[in-house]
Amino acid sequence: AGLTAMGLGPGEHLKLVPGGLLGGVVKPEEFDHFHEMIVQEERVRHFCPGWEDGLEGGNAISIPVILKYGNEWMKKEVLPPLIMGETVSCLSITEAYAGSDVAAIRTTAKKDASGENYIVSGTKKWITTGQYSDWFVTAVRTGGKNAAGVSMILVPKSDQVICSKIKTKYSSAAGTVFIAYEDAVVPTKCLFGKEGKGFQIIMSNFNHERWMICVVNLARARKCTEETFKWAMQRKIFGTKLVEQAVIREKLAQMFSALETVTALQYEVTYSMCQKGSQSPLLGGRIALLKYTVTRVCHLIADNAVQILGGRGVTRTGMGRIVECFHRVYKIPAVYGGSEEILADLAVRMAIKAFPAEAKL
Residue 1 has pLDDT above 80, yes or no: no
Alpha-carbon distances of 301 from 51, 139, 170, 253, 343, rounded to whole Å: 22, 35, 18, 10, 21
- Beta strand ranges found along the chain (DSSP E): 89-92, 108-111, 117-127, 135-141, 150-156, 161-165, 177-187, 236-237, 240-241
b/e sequence 324-334, b meaning 16+ C-beta within 10 Å: bbbbebbebbb
Strand pairing report for 108-111 and 236-237: unpaired
How sure is the predictor about 54, in pLDDT bands with cuts at 50, 70 and 90?
A: confident
- Mean pLDDT for 20-48 is 92
How sure is the predictor about 97, in pLDDT bands with cuts at 50, 70 and 90?
A: confident
For 300-317, the pLDDT digits (tens) are 999 999 999 999 999 999
For 146-205, the pLDDT digits (tens) are 899 999 999 999 999 999 999 888 888 899 999 999 999 999 999 999 999 999 999 888
Looking at the DSSP bridge assignments, the partners of residue 178 are 164
Instruction: Write down the pLDDT at residue 55.
Output: 84
- Mean pLDDT for 94-105 is 88
Asked if residue 201 lies in contact with residue 191, where contact means CB atoms within 8 angstroms, the answer is no
List, as one string, the DSSP characters of 65-130.
HHHHH--HHIIIIIHHHHHTTSS-EEEE---SS-SS-GGG---EEEE-TTSSEEEEEEEEEEETTG
- Mean pLDDT for 234-256 is 95
Residue 100 has pLDDT above 80, yes or no: no
Residue 144 has pLDDT above 90, yes or no: no
pTM: 0.91
